[in-house]
């Protein structure tokens, strides 16, 4: 593919609610641009953009994919992003690399939950947008209702640039409101069309829509508005210029329509991308900071500027190795050189520069401002880091992600695979930063966290396909703990063993007292006199520490207590470190039983975002989970409910919240503190733990 000047580049992300037709639209764009020789179909598994086996299996975009196309002497770099809630953060990540956005909305379903979310992402990045109403050929497709929905929920600035000719099975083409021409498309999927006059039955509708469009365009530019108000007719050149300015300044969000599946309305849409959405030059300078001084640094999108690029995605490939995908913000990169990681101050050798084309990569001669490219096998560099000129370093900001709320314990299907699992999952975590792997030191389980159950299941499928490692998923154990509630002195334990030869003897005197929650453990050596030689004190403390790893109630770790070692007895021959270690261990267990032991459970800080109409149901449900609502804060289009809830009650909260809110709720949670388990529930936990220990 030939090199284009920066002003002839368009970097766009296609974003939408899942199943709205994003990938089908992308396939039609690639076909009409001559990049592919057949129209790929998601339902047949022949899509160029959805090529991972997990995507083909589910007919679902899971990971952002990339492909360029040429149209009207311009290059359009397409990023097809996920729309499913489990993978929607991947979409937000991809918006860091583009200059404009295409929002796809199903003509049957209208604006849906994730549509609102991705629209908000585009707002956060201040990106100009086109809106494409898809599936106009489907039963119950309704352009007017969908447009009204868009204007009500997303923005009143959504203005049609074309309107449909017919709908459902009768959908035949579109009317271009600016040119006043009708485009009737052939039904053979070729994308070919004939140009003619507006059908008589659409003339009134087209005139009313055109008047609204011209008014919106005029309002985007003071000089045009003056001409418009004076009754002067705006020329085609005025309208084209005003429309572009309106889109770039986000005072207009043009709406177009068509059918990706039938390849109708796609070519006018491609032209609208060129005419309306920004080039890297329109986007302007990129801002970052100096890695050492933290002073603001600015890079203009020029080929002669110091090189800088931001890595926004990593792909783990067991054969090609790690691929680092980046957007070039300034300067030019040539193959076979050294890159400088400004975040880590590290130099990286690289070979070819690759252009991503679906599942394939194509070597290119260079990468300049606005280009989206990749290099392989960078050793130090990971996602969200900046590559720059070493003499002119810059670090670009990365987005922050919520902590993944859904967790599963991971068990290897084959013994001895633990290390392989850790290494392989770590590589997948590089590819998908919203996946987290951690080890629970108390339960000894490997915990895999993700944005939802499907997210975790897909990660496990990738683990098997890419690295040949199979695992089982199970609900993680709750890391309960034990503590005491009262103080007692005079806890005495004597360890005495005589079985021929040298015996064992040690006696310790303890006082146990509770500490404030979260304090951990305190050991006090309060010995006076010489009943116990001081060289045995470390053994006593070690014995106490080991005994605290398994409490007397249910075998959970003991926390938040103080052990005061104030006296004891020893024997000049039979006393030893092991004897005092055993005595102190048994003394602790005895003392805990005598100081009102209780079970503690982890309490989580939970933040739930819900639409107003579901707030009552969600709060009622949280109360039923032993939760305590701390605050309710208003947000655009909903409320944030802040609560504290026991972890045991929210291990499977994700599907329940989805069901309660028709998929419109989301949540995040993090550990807060430990609290005492209510007595009736503690009995069940203790019984279950003892049964498990007995079985083991």
Between 228 and 267, the higher pLDDT residue: 267
- The rounded distance, in Å, linking the Cα atoms of 156 and 633 is 26
pLDDT of residue 36: 94
Q: Which helix (H) or strand (E) holds 26?
A: helix 22-32
The C-alpha torsion from 511 through 514 and 518 to 522, rounded to 10°, is -10
- What DSSP designation does 259 have? B
Mean pLDDT value across residues 674-682: 94
Dihedral angle over CA of 674, 679, 684, 686, nearest 10: 60
Contacts of 332 (CB under 8 A, 6+ apart): 303, 307, 366, 367, 368, 369
- Chain-centroid distance of CA 444 in Å reads 26
What b/e string do you get for 212-251 counting C-beta neighbours within 10 Å, with b at 16 or more? ebbebbbbbbeebeebbeeeeebeeebbebbbbbbbbebb
CA distance 91 to 13: 8
In Å, what is the CA distance from 17 to each residue of 83, 117, 119, 176, 521? 5, 9, 10, 26, 51
Quick: pLDDT tens for 44-73.
Answer: 889 999 999 898 988 889 999 999 999 999
- Closest by CA to 447, choosing from 456, 437, 457, is 437
Q: 260 and 24 in contact (C-beta within 8 Å)?
A: yes
The count of other CB atoms within 10 Å of the CB of residue 413 is: 11
Give the position of tokens 């989805």: 658
CB 375 within 8 A of CB 352: yes
pLDDT score recorded for residue 67: 97
pLDDT band at 188 (very low <50, low <70, confident <90, very high): very high
From residue 481, how far is each of 250, 442, 556, 612, 677 by CA, in Å?
54, 9, 5, 38, 10
Average pLDDT (493-521) is 90
Q: How confident is the model at residue 637 (pLDDT cuts 50, 70, 90)?
A: low
Q: Pairing relation of β-strands 521-525 and 597-610?
A: unpaired
Q: Which residues contact 57 (CB under 8 A, 6 or more apart)?
A: none
Residue 89 clears pLDDT 90, i.e. is over it: no
Grade residue 233 by pLDDT with cuts at 50, 70 and 90: confident
Count CA atoms within 13 Å of residue 183 on its CB side. Answer: 24
At residue 636 the predicted structure's pLDDT band, cuts being 50, 70 and 90, is low
533 versus 691: which is more confidently predicted? 533
Give the helix/strand (H/E) hosting 113: helix 113-124
pLDDT at 2: 61
Confidence (pTM): 0.79
Cα–Cα–Cα angle for 584, 587, 589, nearest 5°? 115
- Asked if residue 658 lies in contact with residue 664, where contact means CB atoms within 8 angstroms, the answer is no
Interval 21-48: pLDDT, tens: 999 999 999 999 999 999 999 888 899 9
- What does the DSSP assignment read for 152-178? HHT-TTEEESEEEES-GGG--EEEETT
Measured CA to CA, the distance from residue 15 to residue 20 in angstroms comes to 9
Contact 221, 245 (CB under 8 A): yes
* pLDDT, mean of residues 652-673: 85
User: Tens digit of pLDDT for each residue in 430-460?
Assistant: 888 888 888 877 778 888 988 878 889 999 9
Non-local CB neighbours of 532 within 8 Å, separated by 6+ positions: 508, 540, 567, 568, 569, 570, 580
Over the chain, what is the mean pLDDT?
Answer: 92
What are the tokens at 219?
């309002």
Reference 390, options 342, 333, 335; nearest CA is 342
The mean pLDDT value for 638-650 works out to 92
| Mean pLDDT of the region 662-675 | 84
- Give the separation between CA 581 and CA 538, rounded to whole angstroms: 9
For residues 617-642, one letter each, b for 16 or more C-beta atoms within 10 angstroms of the residue's C-beta and e for the rest, the string is ebbebbeebbbebeeeeeeeebbebe
Contacts of 92 (CB under 8 A, 6+ apart): 121, 124, 399
Quote the Cα angle for 352-354-357, to 5°. 155
Sketch out the chain's domains with CATH numbers.
6-200+247-283 (3.40.50.300), 286-388 (2.40.30.10), 406-474 (3.30.70.870), 482-595 (3.30.230.10), 602-681 (3.30.70.240)
pLDDT for residue 79: 97
Q: How far apart are CA 553 and CA 687, in angstroms?
A: 9
Q: Please check whether residue 554 is in contact with residue 599, taking contact to mean a CB–CB distance below 8 angstroms.
A: yes
């Amino acid at each position: 593919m030939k090199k284009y000047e920066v002003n002839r580049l368009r970097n766009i992300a296609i974003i939408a609610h899942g199943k709205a037709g994003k990938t089908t639209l992308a396939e039609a764009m690639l076909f009409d641009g001559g990049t592919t020789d057949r129209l790929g179909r998601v339902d047949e598994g022949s899509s160029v953009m959805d090529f991972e086996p997990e995507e083909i299996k589910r007919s679902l975009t899971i990971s952002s994919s990339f492909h360029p196309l040429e149209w009207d002497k311009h290059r359009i770099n397409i990023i097809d992003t996920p729309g499913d809630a489990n993978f929607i953060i991947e979409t937000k990540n991809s918006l860091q690399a583009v200059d404009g956005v295409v929002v796809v909305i199903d003509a049957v379903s209208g604006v849906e939950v994730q549509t609102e979310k991705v629209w908000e992402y585009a707002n956060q990045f201040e990106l100009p947008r086109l809106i494409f109403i898809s599936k106009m050929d489907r039963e119950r497709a309704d352009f007017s209702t969908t447009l009204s929905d868009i204007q009500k929920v997303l923005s009143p600035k959504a203005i049609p640039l074309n309107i449909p000719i017919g709908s459902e099975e009768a959908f035949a083409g579109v009317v271009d409101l600016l040119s006043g021409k009708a485009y009737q498309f052939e039904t053979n999927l070729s994308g070919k069309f004939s140009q003619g006059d507006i059908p008589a039955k659409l003339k009134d509708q087209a005139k009313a829509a055109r008047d609204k469009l011209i008014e919106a365009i005029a309002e985007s530019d003071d000089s045009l508005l003056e001409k418009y108000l004076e009754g002067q007719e705006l020329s085609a050149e005025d309208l084209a210029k005003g429309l572009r300015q309106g889109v770039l300044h986000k005072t207009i969000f043009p709406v177009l329509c068509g059918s990706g599946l039938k390849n109708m309305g796609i070519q006018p849409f491609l032209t609208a991308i060129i005419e309306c959405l920004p080039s890297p030059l329109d986007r302007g300078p990129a801002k970052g900071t100096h890695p050492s001084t933290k002073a603001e640094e600015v890079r203009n999108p020029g080929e002669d500027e110091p090189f800088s690029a931001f890595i926004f995605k990593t792909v783990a490939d067991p054969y090609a190795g790690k691929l680092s995908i980046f957007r070039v913000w300034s300067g030019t990169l040539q193959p076979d050189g050294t890159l400088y990681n400004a975040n880590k101050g590290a130099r990286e050798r690289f070979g070819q520069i690759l252009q991503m084309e679906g599942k394939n990569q194509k070597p290119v001669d260079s990468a300049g401002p606005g280009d989206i490219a990749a290099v392989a096998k960078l050793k130090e560099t990971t996602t969200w880091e900046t590559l720059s000129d070493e003499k002119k370093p810059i670090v670009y900001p990365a987005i922050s992600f919520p902590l993944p709320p859904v967790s599963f314990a991971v068990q290897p299907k084959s013994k001895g695979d633990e290390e392989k699992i850790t290494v392989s999952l770590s590589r997948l975590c590089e590819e998908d930063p919203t996946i987290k792997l951690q080890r629970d030191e108390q339960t000894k389980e490997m915990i895999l966290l993700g944005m939802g159950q499907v997210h975790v299941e897909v990660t496990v499928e990738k683990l098997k396909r890419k690295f040949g490692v199979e695992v089982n998923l199970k609900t993680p154990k709750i890391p309960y703990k034990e503590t005491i509630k009262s103080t007692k002195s005079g806890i005495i334990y004597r360890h005495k063993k005589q079985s021929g030869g040298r015996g064992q003897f040690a006696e310790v005197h303890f006082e146990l007292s509770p500490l404030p929650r979260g304090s951990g453990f305190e050991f006090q050596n309060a010995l006076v006199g010489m009943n116990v030689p001081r060289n045995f004190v470390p053994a006593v403390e070690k014995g106490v520490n080991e005994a605290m790893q398994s409490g007397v109630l249910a075998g959970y770790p003991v926390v938040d207590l103080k052990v005061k070692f104030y006296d004891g007895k020893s024997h000049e021959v039979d006393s030893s470190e092991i004897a005092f270690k055993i005595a102190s261990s048994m003394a602790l267990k005895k003392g805990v039983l005598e100081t009102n032991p209780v079970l503690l459970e982890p309490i989580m800080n939970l933040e739930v975002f819900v639409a107003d109409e579901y707030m009552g149901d969600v709060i009622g449900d949280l109360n039923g989970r032993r939760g305590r609502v701390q605050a309710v804060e208003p947000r655009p289009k909903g409320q944030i409910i802040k609560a504290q809830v026991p972890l045991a009650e929210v291990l499977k909260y994700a599907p329940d919240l989805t069901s309660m809110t028709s998929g419109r709720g989301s949540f995040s949670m993090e550990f807060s503190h430990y609290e005492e388990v209510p007595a009736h529930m503690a009995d069940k936990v203790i019984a279950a733990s003892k049964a498990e220990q007995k079985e083991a």
